[in-house]
A and B are shown apart, each in its own frame.
Chain A
């Protein structure tokens, strides 16, 4: 039916949840910064200022400079591109794998359920860093490969949430009504179940983005992710570690940027869930 019919009545008397408002403002600012990073950055991210090594935050260098005299603020800005690309693409991979697996497991039950969920348990029990390292060590590092590796790690979590929501929905009578009128499986999965799963999944998805950004940083920190001299938050924290007593800003600035990103995405996820789920409306 018409998309308009779908959207109109829901928008009418809805007030945006505060979490969504705050979260989306943060995320929007981040996105703008990421897109315009090259324009906003006061200096090229890899320009050395040998005379200004380890200078503290000032009007000239907003977040100070590092051991080579590179502007930390510019590097954080440019680094956001790598970190966020990694976080989002890894989560997309996780959704692409986890949602279908969870849906099928919850819908078919029985053997499918057991096989899918137990294999995912196995994946989940495996130490995540070790797994990613295994994948990365045998082949040369590349951003997309890291994203896929982290995405695979996210799959069990997304699949579990999807499955539990599906199980819950399967007892709803509208699913039985769909089966009673002879709907095909794909229709029930995509049109009856899936739209009801997104709201609940929203929170998990925001957590996964956060997880991917953090894990990406850890990998860079361990020198398995992005290679120097690229700017990446994890790499910056890692290389600033040596000077944390004399120039803490080198690590603090990317750490703070990561914290704000994480907060913004979580808030937006929480808010989106509240907005998308008609049943949650008006409970606050």
Chain B
């Protein structure tokens, strides 16, 4: 980076959190600069410390944090400013947009008011002037009807619209720096791509600098000039985006890029490359290289001393002493299996014309049910239809991918098939039996054979049950193994999902997200099921962990002949594991077909749009890193 006066200069930033006598280091000696008009991306997985950087810059780390180092913005040290002058800088010169557009706006205030507020406060505009400017800002953000949107309340807007509003509010005082913390993570791919277009346009028209925090490498690569890759509180690699993400040198960056699923039909024998293990416990910092325990290239010398950021000749900053000599990340593992043939005739699951709408619940609706005469008073059209006449079938051992954006009804469909929700009309057949007609006793057998794995690793396990108890319960419930052998079976299950046996006595909060998902999968496997609904099983996980879980699911499918209904919003993930894909849009399945066919010859316009946005993120397969070290000089 050159020596012109930087807009933002973060030097030797170290952040520690102390709680209950334990302290852990969230950031360790982080330094970077951001030049005016540039965009710097900070990428890293959860726990890498990237959000602490934002917290340190904005001064919102909280009382438990101890901060060392300095943050200079426009040649002023933010740490030494009085709270009052700090506020002036933060609101006026630095705009910030946070991850969740759904909770970042005050639901009680009209949108225009929320954009106008900082201008009245910081720029001293009158209310009318500020409202005028708010409307024109909304227009700049690509909103078609700025006047109507300015008068709307947040709940009346879609997620993408809200994110545009938040960006408008951040831009209101014409800041020189815009901090974006995971701005597109909560959005659907099609919307994400529109927001990224907007950011690019803003950079063109206003010369604003961006500090862009994200876990999504592809998004960062599209938006940013420079990239810093964070791991366990340290920057491990930093330089121009095209080199860092195009031809990475640090093993961690290589691993991250290799773990990204490609948008192509996976075959049964293929597994994704992945990074084993997880981020080291922040309370126990490693002696040498922080990544050594997960690095396939590590050798004893790596553990000798901490690694420093260095700039090898003709390259960018790397925190790895042997960066220039490591090869490419270990490639996909191919397991030789014969792709099974599925005959439509003997379907395991057969759903016909399923329909489900959600009725208003509680309050008056509850009382109305008491008085049947009042029921007709409710208009029939007011109930939203979540699943609208959907039919699908699944053969034994087959993986059917179900893709669609949030709110399209894909999760409801999964729950209908498992009969966790009752359909309004239509039927589900399992193994030839109509589930709706079964007695509750006969349904118990279906409950044993059909299981579910959820998205939210935080709530999938009961926090008050140990892992052993969680895994043992299905065995007790269905009386699958004699009491004396239950512990052995629990240990078998743990080893199936590649967890240490000692985890039997642990509790969910002591496990990382990926480990919890493994336990949830083990719990589903405990009953020897034949069919598992995987509802966004990897969406809440980091990229490196994601690949490992998809591989695990594929291994288990091959080992036990499981059939999956694999629900996800991420087409690339679905493509990796599915034999067939069903695309869902607004409660209906708009297209079904073999994975390769859907990817190559999508018929329905929505599928084409979905594919186009996914492609945009993932333009060419040549993009994939093949580990060549780049000799071209850049600095």
Contacts and interface: CB of A to CB of B under 8 A. Distances in A.
Interface stretch (B313-321, B395-403, B461-469, B627-635): B461-469
A145 B415 CA distance: 49
Contacts of B472: 1
Contacts of B214: none
B509 A1 contact: no
A173 B533 CA distance: 13
B456 interface: yes
Interface centre among A6, A9, A176, A180 (most CB of B within 10 A): A180
Contacts of B468: 1, 5
Interface string B505-534: 111011000000000100110010000000
A196 B464 contact: yes
B19 A282 contact: yes
Interface in A3-23: 5-6, 8-10, 15
20 contacts: A110-B361, A111-B366, A172-B462, A173-B454, A173-B459, A176-B452, A176-B454, A180-B418, A180-B420, A180-B447, A180-B451, A181-B477, A181-B478, A182-B444, A182-B448, A192-B462, A195-B462, A195-B464, A196-B464, A278-B464
B362 A113 contact: yes
B520 A177 contact: yes
Contact of A5 (B367, B463, B466, B524): B466
A174 B366 contact: no
- Per CB-CB distance, the 3 closest pairs between chain A and chain B, nearest first, are A182-B447, A172-B459, A173-B454
A279 B395 CA distance: 42
Contacts of A110: 361-362, 366, 369
A113 B460 contact: no
A183 interface: yes
A179 interface: yes
Nearest to A283: B19
B21 interface: yes
B464 to A, nearest CB: 4
A60 interface: no
B474 interface: yes
Given A1-B469, A177-B520, 6 more contacts: A5-B469, A174-B462, A176-B415, A176-B452, A177-B452, A180-B420
Interface string A107-129: 00111011000000000000000
A108 B33 CA distance: 57
Given A180-B418, A192-B462, A111 B370 contact: yes
Contact of A9 (B450, B478, B510): B510
Contacts of B474: 181
A284 interface: yes
Nearest to B21: A15
B366 A8 contact: no
Contacts of A114: 362, 366-367
Interface string A164-184: 000000011110110111110
B361 A174 contact: no
Contacts of A6: 466, 469
Given A5-B505, A183-B477, A109 B362 contact: yes
Given A181-B447, A181-B448, A181-B477, A278 B418 contact: no
Interface size class of A (residues with CB under 8 A): 20 to 34
Nearest to B474: A181
Contacts of B366: 110-111, 113-114
Nearest to A277: B463
A103 to B, nearest CB: 15
Interface centre among A182, A281, A283 (most CB of B within 10 A): A182
B444 A176 contact: no
A209 B34 CA distance: 59
Contacts, number: 97
Interface in B13-33: 19-22
Interface residues of B, number: 48
B443 interface: yes
Interface in A113-150: 113-114
Interface of B: 19-22, 361-362, 366-367, 369-370, 415, 418, 420, 443-444, 447-448, 450-452, 454-456, 459-466, 468-469, 472-474, 477-478, 504-507, 509-510, 520, 523-524, 527
B454 to A, nearest CB: 4
B464 A284 contact: no
A257 to B, nearest CB: 34
Nearest to B520: A177
A28 B294 CA distance: 51
Given A1-B469, A15-B20, A114-B366, A173 B460 contact: yes
Contacts of B447: 180-182
A202 to B, nearest CB: 14
Contacts of B507: 9-10, 278
Interface centre among B21, B420, B465 (most CB of A within 10 A): B465
Contacts of A281: 509
Contacts of B459: 171-174
B503 to A, nearest CB: 10
A196 B466 CA distance: 13
Contacts of A182: 443-444, 447-448, 477
A178 to B, nearest CB: 8
A177 B507 CA distance: 17
B483 to A, nearest CB: 11
A281 B508 CA distance: 13
A111 B369 contact: yes
A278 B19 CA distance: 15
Contacts of A180: 418, 420, 447, 450-452
A15 B451 CA distance: 39
A284 B19 contact: yes
Nearest to B504: A5
Given A114-B367, A278-B509, A9 B466 contact: yes
Nearest to B526: A181
A20 to B, nearest CB: 14
Interface in A82-117: 109-111, 113-114
A10 B509 CA distance: 10
B20 A284 contact: yes
A16 to B, nearest CB: 11
Given A5-B469, A192-B462, A196-B462, A177 B454 contact: yes
Nearest to B454: A173
A174 B465 CA distance: 11
Given A110-B369, A180-B447, A8 B463 contact: no
A177 B369 CA distance: 29
Contacts of B460: 173-174, 177
A193 to B, nearest CB: 9
Contacts of A15: 20-21
Contacts of B469: 1, 5-6
A1 B469 CA distance: 6
B492 to A, nearest CB: 16
B156 to A, nearest CB: 24
B477 A109 contact: no
Contacts of A176: 415, 420, 452, 454
A213 to B, nearest CB: 30
Nearest to A6: B466
A179 B477 CA distance: 12
Contacts of A9: 466, 505-507, 510
A143 B195 CA distance: 68
A284 B19 CA distance: 6
A173 B508 CA distance: 13
B635 to A, nearest CB: 43
A200 to B, nearest CB: 12
Contacts of B506: 9
Interface string A213-255: 0000000000000000000000000000000000000000000
A190 B520 CA distance: 21
Contacts of B465: 195
A279 B454 contact: no
Given A8-B505, A9-B507, A9-B510, A279 B463 contact: yes
